[in-house]
């Protein structure tokens, strides 16, 4: 029997797509296609290979940027959470990075790194890394004091306390920060393609808009959202498997 969360997800999807179809048939705007028209356009692009070629271009900076953000973000977050002076020195930088309007920074990246892959990777990192760093630092900083005291009582070294108490205790929240960072990375990848050079899925969106092929434009937007949702759900399932003993809540429950 389907779980309650699965039934709620299916009901939510039916309501959303039904509202989309109705809004397209009214229509709310001449530039707003129906859900069926958008899915037909998505099917055409998938069959003729347009979507595959686009994602081959889009996923490259996304994968590189997310990998860099995950490795550096977790390492820096651990250092910030464990070292007070490092926290004072670097935490404000990542807070500003998270709050700063990214669109204003893209022209600076283009001036320094050009319009190639490097600039797009930097955009993904700027979007993803602050979330990962701040979540990791907060998780490490808020490790229950009683657990650390227990480690010291059993004559554990600082290294033992970090590796065997602090990191395992903080891991679920670190993983949650990683999911949020990857979600931000998807946004950064598409924003980079729209603002720097129109390639990949961003090129489909830009070109379709320019020729008033709104069904293709909306289908491309839908495809990147669907890919992000699928990927984040897979990460959520992996998180549940790795941290099964931790009681966690999700909007989908």
CA nearest 208: which of 200, 220, 199, 197? 220
> What's the whole-number mean pLDDT along residues 8-36?
86
Torsion angle defined by CA atoms of residues 58, 63, 239 and 4, in that order, rounded to the nearest 10 degrees: 0
The proportion of the chain whose per-residue pLDDT surpasses 70, expressed as a percent, equals 94
Q: What integer pLDDT is reported at residue 245 of this predicted model?
A: 56
Q: 31 in a domain, yes or no?
A: no
CA nearest 174: which of 67, 70, 62? 70
pLDDT digits (tens, 9 = 90+) for 131-161: 899 898 888 888 777 777 787 777 777 787 8
Q: Reply yes or no on whether the pLDDT at 6 is more than 80.
A: no
Mean pLDDT estimate for the chain: 83
Q: 197 in a domain, yes or no?
A: yes
Q: 102 in a domain, yes or no?
A: yes
Instruction: Look at residue 34 and give its three-state secondary structure.
Output: coil
148-to-7, 158, 166 alpha-carbon distances in Å: 42, 10, 8
Q: 18 in a domain, yes or no?
A: no
Within its chain, how far is the Cα of 246 from the centroid?
Answer: 23
Q: 16 in a domain, yes or no?
A: no
Q: What integer pLDDT is reported at residue 248 of this predicted model?
A: 47
Give the chain's domain count. Answer: 1
Q: Are 62 and 124 in contact (CB under 8 A)?
A: yes
Domain, as residue range, for 203 = 41-242
Q: 227 in a domain, yes or no?
A: yes
pTM assigned to the model: 0.78
48 Cβ contact partners less than 8 Å away, ≥ 6 residues apart: none
Q: What integer pLDDT is reported at residue 114 of this predicted model?
A: 79
> How buried is 86 (Cβ within 10 angstroms: 0-12 exposed, 13-18 middle, 19+ buried)?
middle
How sure is the predictor about 120, in pLDDT bands with cuts at 50, 70 and 90?
Answer: confident
Q: Reply yes or no on whether the pLDDT at 70 is more than 70.
A: yes
Q: 35 in a domain, yes or no?
A: no
Q: Reply yes or no on whether the pLDDT at 3 is more than 70.
A: no
Q: Side-chain half-sphere of 41: how many Cα atoms within 13 Å?
A: 20
144: domain CATH number is 1.10.3720.10
How sure is the predictor about 112, in pLDDT bands with cuts at 50, 70 and 90?
Answer: confident
Q: What integer pLDDT is reported at residue 246 of this predicted model?
A: 54
> How buried is 28 (Cβ within 10 angstroms: 0-12 exposed, 13-18 middle, 19+ buried)?
exposed
Q: 1 in a domain, yes or no?
A: no
Q: What integer pLDDT is reported at residue 105 of this predicted model?
A: 78
> What's the whole-number mean pLDDT along residues 58-83?
89
């Amino acid at each position: 029997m389907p779980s309650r969360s699965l039934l709620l997800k299916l009901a939510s999807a039916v309501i959303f797509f039904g509202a989309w179809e109705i809004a397209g048939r009214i229509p709310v705007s001449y530039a707003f296609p129906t859900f069926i028209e958008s899915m037909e356009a998505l099917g055409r692009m998938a069959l003729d290979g347009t979507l595959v070629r686009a994602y081959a271009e889009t996923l490259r900076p996304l994968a590189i940027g997310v990998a860099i953000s995950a490795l550096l973000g977790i390492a820096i977050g651990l250092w910030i959470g464990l070292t007070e002076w490092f926290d004072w020195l670097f935490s404000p930088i990542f807070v500003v990075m998270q709050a700063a309007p990214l669109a204003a920074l893209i022209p600076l990246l283009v001036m320094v790194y050009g319009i190639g892959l490097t600039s797009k990777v930097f955009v993904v990192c700027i979007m993803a890394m602050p979330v990962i760093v701040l979540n990791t630092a907060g998780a490490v900083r808020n490790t229950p004091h009683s657990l650390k005291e227990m480690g010291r009582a059993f004559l554990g070294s600082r290294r033992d306390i970090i590796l065997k108490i602090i990191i395992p205790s903080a891991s679920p929240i670190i993983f949650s920060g990683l999911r949020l960072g990857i979600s931000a990375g998807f946004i950064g990848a598409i924003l980079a393609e729209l603002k720097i050079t129109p390639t990949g899925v961003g090129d489909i969106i830009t070109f379709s808009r320019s020729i008033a092929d709104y069904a293709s434009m909306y289908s491309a937007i839908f495809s990147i959202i669907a890919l992000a949702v699928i990927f984040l759900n897979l990460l959520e399932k992996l998180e549940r498997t790795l941290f099964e003993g931790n009681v966690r809540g999700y909007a989908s429950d």
